[in-house]
């Protein structure tokens, strides 16, 4: 597609982003993420530690966190990992501990799935005991997949940090590492979108949205790091500074993920790639949003 062809798609993306109140949805998701972040990180370290070793996995994760949200944020994450540990006094206590942590971590992914469905015109999750059990099981699988993504991410970052060519190649290596990271996060974001969206979309439909998310995530790492350093957020909020920094970081990334979703939706509508019933639901949702704004 040419720039002229993409222009109305981008305009429609931002219009839908505003209509769906994606910033409010992102704020709600950030709140749930703060409640679930401890068990999510514990499971991510547990899964990654099976390959790298628990201590190495913890150290590598904290190094990446410090690069993104600073030393105080990394210390806060470290305290969460220390305070929430698995019960290792036998098989059954350990299994029960994993189950409790997995249940707590799954809440975030249940909310993420519901948010994506709302954006795509689908009704929220059904109520009932059986429906809740199924949702939690599916969300539990998503938690495990998230742990595998963290493993791949840390492995990639470690490889890029230690495998650095000499000579002329060393001067362009930072650019190469950024491009590799963008490619990795494009695939990850596109895969999550393909799974979460309640519509059968091809990889060709979702990878542009993944690219939008990956580019904004990469830019956000730099911009937010500078903002946190120059704005002295941690000093302004005292002992709660680390929580505020982490909340802002999650809020930003939730917004760019939803923006990517809106772009996928606008692009699919422009290409006429959606099922007529899905298009009808999205149109009805947009009409309701416009009526709410006019009221």
Q: How high is the pLDDT of residue 125?
A: 60
67 — phi, psi (to 5°)? -65, -30
Mean pLDDT confidence for 8-14? 91
CB 39 within 8 A of CB 84: yes
pLDDT tens-digit map of 248-275: 899 999 999 999 999 999 998 888 878 7
CB 257 within 8 A of CB 33: no
pLDDT tens-digit map of 225-252: 888 777 776 666 776 778 888 888 999 9
pLDDT band of residue 189 (cuts 50, 70, 90) is very high
The chain-wide mean pLDDT, for the chain, equals 81
Residues of the chain above pLDDT 90, percent? 18
Pairwise pLDDT comparison (126 vs 197), residue with the higher score: 197
Measured distance CA(261)–CA(264) in Å, rounded: 5
What are the residue ranges spanned by the domains of the chain?
3-151+173-290
For 45-52, which contacts have Cβ atoms below 8 Å and span 24 or more sequence positions? 45/81, 46/86, 46/98, 46/147, 47/144, 47/147, 47/148, 47/150, 47/151, 48/147, 48/150, 48/151, 48/154, 51/151, 51/155, 52/151, 52/154, 52/155
pLDDT band of residue 185 (cuts 50, 70, 90) is very high
Q: How high is the pLDDT of residue 24?
A: 92
Q: How high is the pLDDT of residue 259?
A: 95
Q: How high is the pLDDT of residue 262?
A: 93
Q: How high is the pLDDT of residue 186?
A: 94
Mean pLDDT confidence for 39-56? 80
Q: How high is the pLDDT of residue 166?
A: 63
pLDDT tens-digit map of 125-153: 666 666 667 767 777 677 778 777 877 87
Mean pLDDT confidence for 180-196? 91
pLDDT tens-digit map of 83-122: 666 555 555 566 666 676 677 677 788 888 888 888 888 7
Q: How high is the pLDDT of residue 39?
A: 79
Q: Tell me the HSE value of 154 on the side-chain side, using a 13 A CA sphere.
A: 25
Q: How high is the pLDDT of residue 254?
A: 93
Mean pLDDT confidence for 33-48? 80
Kindly give, in sequence order, each residue whose CB lies less than 8 Å from that of residue 40, ignoring residues fewer than 6 positions away: 33, 105, 108, 143, 146
Measured distance CA(244)–CA(242) in Å, rounded: 5
């Amino acid at each position: 597609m040419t720039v002229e062809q993409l222009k109305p798609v981008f305009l429609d993306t931002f219009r839908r982003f505003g209509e769906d109140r994606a910033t409010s949805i992102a704020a709600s998701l950030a709140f749930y993420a703060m409640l679930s972040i401890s068990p999510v990180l514990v499971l991510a370290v547990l899964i990654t530690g099976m390959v790298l070793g628990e201590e190495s996995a913890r150290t590598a994760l904290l190094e990446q966190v410090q690069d993104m949200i600073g030393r105080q944020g990394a210390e806060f994450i470290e305290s969460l990992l220390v305070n929430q540990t698995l019960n290792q006094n036998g098989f059954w206590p350990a299994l029960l501990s994993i189950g409790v942590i997995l249940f707590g971590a799954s809440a975030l992914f249940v909310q993420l799935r519901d948010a994506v469905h709302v954006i795509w015109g689908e009704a929220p999750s059904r109520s009932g005991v059986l429906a809740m059990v199924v949702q939690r099981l599916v969300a539990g699988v998503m938690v495990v997949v998230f742990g595998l993504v963290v493993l791949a991410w840390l492995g990639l970052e470690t490889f890029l940090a230690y495998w650095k060519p000499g000579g002329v190649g060393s001067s362009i290596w930072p650019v190469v590492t950024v491009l590799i990271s963008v490619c990795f996060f494009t695939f990850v974001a596109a895969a999550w979108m393909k799974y979460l969206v309640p519509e059968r979309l091809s990889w060709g439909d979702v990878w542009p949205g993944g690219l939008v998310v990956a580019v904004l995530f990469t830019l956000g790492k730099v911009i937010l790091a500078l903002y946190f350093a120059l704005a002295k957020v941690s000093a302004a909020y005292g002992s709660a500074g680390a929580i505020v920094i982490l909340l802002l970081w999650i809020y930003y990334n939730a917004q760019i993920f939803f923006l990517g979703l809106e772009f996928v939706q606008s692009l699919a509508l422009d290409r006429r790639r959606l099922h007529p019933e899905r298009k009808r639901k999205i149109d009805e949702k947009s009409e309701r949003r416009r009526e709410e704004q006019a009221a």
